Amino acid sequence: MTALEDPTSLEQLAARVDTALTKVSTLPAPVQVVAIELKDALDELHRVGLARIITDLRADPRGRELLFALVDVPEVLTLFQLHGLVRAPDLATRTRLAFDELVAEGLTGELVRVEGTQAVLRLPGATGCSGAEMKDGVGKALMHAVHGLTAVEVEEPVKEPTLIALSSLMVRPGTAWVDGPPRLGVLPGQLRRVDVGGTTAVVLVAGHALAAWVNACPRQGEPLDGGRLDVDECTITCAAHGLEFDALTGESLSVPGLVLTAVPVRDNEGTVQLRPPAGAR
């Protein structure tokens, strides 16, 4: 068996690194210094080499597809994160990924938002006595899977109206402004999810400017509201693979040619209004 065929798991490799670092900490101080200098030199060599590989892959359409596939491999993603080449997911991103795994296992529901260290969910089947048990089970599972998550709240289901407003039948998508949240309710650094007119969008404020985008990464449709808005850099980072976009132009800073889908937005006397594009979802 060659080195490339070694089936060692990511967990085993991480444990091996931890064991080695523990041993280094027991060495005499002068030896520790040399060992750490060696580690830092090797880390920098690997970082420079990996950065060059990523740059060359991004420059070729075939290479970009290969890079996307490689980032899906846990060992590769961990390596990129260790060397600062891909941002490690924040609490909101890790919570969304953990919740998606519960959905894949059969849970029906929605992660509405993450506020601080608390997750807010919608669970349509969580009603009655069995519903309370379901809420408790989902909450415990989520907090166990996500380090740093301290509480899980489940929103009560909203009763749908039995009548359809006549005005909603007379307005075509893309022709009317629809009220969204209050302007002051869109906080700095927040990707505020808004469901309006058949479109799910994210609204943000960057550099005192208001912007709105369809809540889908142009790569594979991953939701943007689980990502990160950097108000200093004026960038949106998609949670799935760390792709970065200009928060005001929508252009990708990671892969040339990728562009977010804009949703017209304006501030109307303190209320954010959106005009959903026809056919968008």
pLDDT of residue 95: 87
What are phi and psi for residue 192, nearest 5 degrees? Answer: -80, 115
- What is the b/e burial string over 67-99, where b = at least 16 CB atoms within 10 angstroms of the residue's CB? bbebbeeeeebebbeebeebbebebbbbbbbbb
**Taking Cα atoms as reference points, which of 276, 275, 272, 277 lies closest to residue 210?**
272
Confidence (pTM)? 0.42
pLDDT of residue 175: 57
The CATH number of the domain covering residues in 91-155: 3.30.300.130
User: What average pLDDT values come out for the chain (281 residues) when binned by 10 residues?
Assistant: 54 81 86 85 85 84 78 76 71 84 83 90 64 78 85 71 45 68 87 86 86 90 90 88 89 86 89 76 45
Q: Which residues touch 198 (CB under 8 Å, ≥6 apart)?
A: 173, 276, 280, 281
Helix axis angle, 29-58 relative to 10-25, nearest 10°?
150
Superfamily designation of domain 172-274 = Rieske [2Fe-2S] iron-sulphur domain (2.102.10.10)
Strand partners, 82: none
d(CA 258, CA 276): 21
Residue 236's CB is within 10 A of a number of other CB atoms, namely 27
Helix axis angle, 74-82 relative to 29-58, nearest 10°?
120
Q: Are strands 209-214 and 118-122 parallel, antiparallel or unpaired?
A: unpaired
